[in-house]
Structures are given as structure tokens and as C-alpha cells.
Amino acid sequence: MAVAVKICGITREDDAARVAEAGADYLGLNFWPGSKRHVTVARAAALGRAARAARPAVALVGLFVDQPEDEIVAAAAALALDVVQLHGDEPPAAVAALTARGLTVWKAHAVRDAGDVAGLAAWPAAAHLLDAPSPGRGGSGTRFDWGLAAAAVAAGHRVVLAGGLTPDNVAAAIARVRPFAVDVASGVEAAPGVKDLDRVRAFLAATAA
């Protein structure tokens, strides 16, 4: 099964172009002001242009945390985002409302136990991004129990696996979970928001093994 790859937390145009050119399926742009990888909509526009010039097929994912619906819709329209990722405490109704406005929505969940997996059905999302709990809303490089993610896949959910993935462990994670996609930020960085292109390429190679 082919697994899609999302490289998240892009902040530099050169990284956007090179990551897209290397073959990442999705590039993540973080619009949460509390993130070390935060970008403005204006900055994201330049990043998106660089990525799409390098490889037009690359998809752009906008990450939002408890931000107003109209703000999300405006950003998605301005940037032609392919996916909106809600990474806060948004309720199922927020996912439904954005979906009704024509957006493809992924909902991120901090996974602690089986109860969190059982609750996924409440969100009418196109995919569920499963991550380790962290104060920074992801990007912490912390793993969680992959068995919980495997259970979500077995229950029929479309899973994007995140949390502590690196070029060294992503192949094992894919074999264990069989997700729709994997998501990495800190695992391929030299510093927050600064991608290490050798690690990006190694990560992509490991997902294709």
C-alpha cells in the first residue's frame, strides 16, 4: 500500500521548493501563532508558490488551532489550500461546518488511550491525524502507542500518523499501523522550521521501502 507523506512546518521558500521536488505529497503550513513554525498568510503564499513551481502536484495543508471559521475559509481561499487541518479543541460541528463550505478537513487528535480511538467516529473528517499529546499542539517529536493508531485503522478510519516519526522508525511505523499517510516535522529538521533536506530525503526513501 502506498503511503502519502506530509512534511509539516515549512517556513522557508527554499525548503518548500526542495521538499516538494523531493516528492512529498503534502506540505504543512502552520497558521497557529503559538507555534515555533508559525507563518502568516502572506508568507504562506510565497511558500505555496515556491512549492507548486517546483512540483505542481504537491498539496498544501493549512494547520489551524481554534481559529474562527471565517478566518480559516479566507486563508484556504487565498492560498488554494488542498486540506485544512484542525489541531485544536474544535468540536465535530466545526469540522462539519467547514466541510459544508467545500473544504477537505483533517482533524488532529492527541491520543492517550483506547477511549480517544473510540471517539474518532464523532468527527465527520476526511482523515484523522493521530499525534502524541503535547503543549505545543504537535511538532514535539514525541511518540505515542502505535497500537492505538493501528486500532483506529482497523476500525475503518483514514489515519494520518504523526508523533515522533523519523527516517529511522517510519518504516516500522507504517508496517505496524498501515496508515493512509505519515506526518513529520521535527524528525526532519535542523531547527524548528528549518528542514534538513538529507533527512527529508531519507524519510521519503524509508516510506517507499
Residue in the structure block whose three cell numbers are 500500500: 1
15 part of the active site: no
Burial of residue 113 (CB within 10 Å: 0-12, 13-18, 19+) is exposed
What sign does the CA torsion over 81, 173, 146, 184 have? negative
Query: What is the Cα 87 distance to its own chain's centre?
Result: 9
CB 73 within 8 Å of CB 101: yes
Choosing from 15, 25, 131, 183, the catalytic residue is: 131
Active site residues: 8, 131
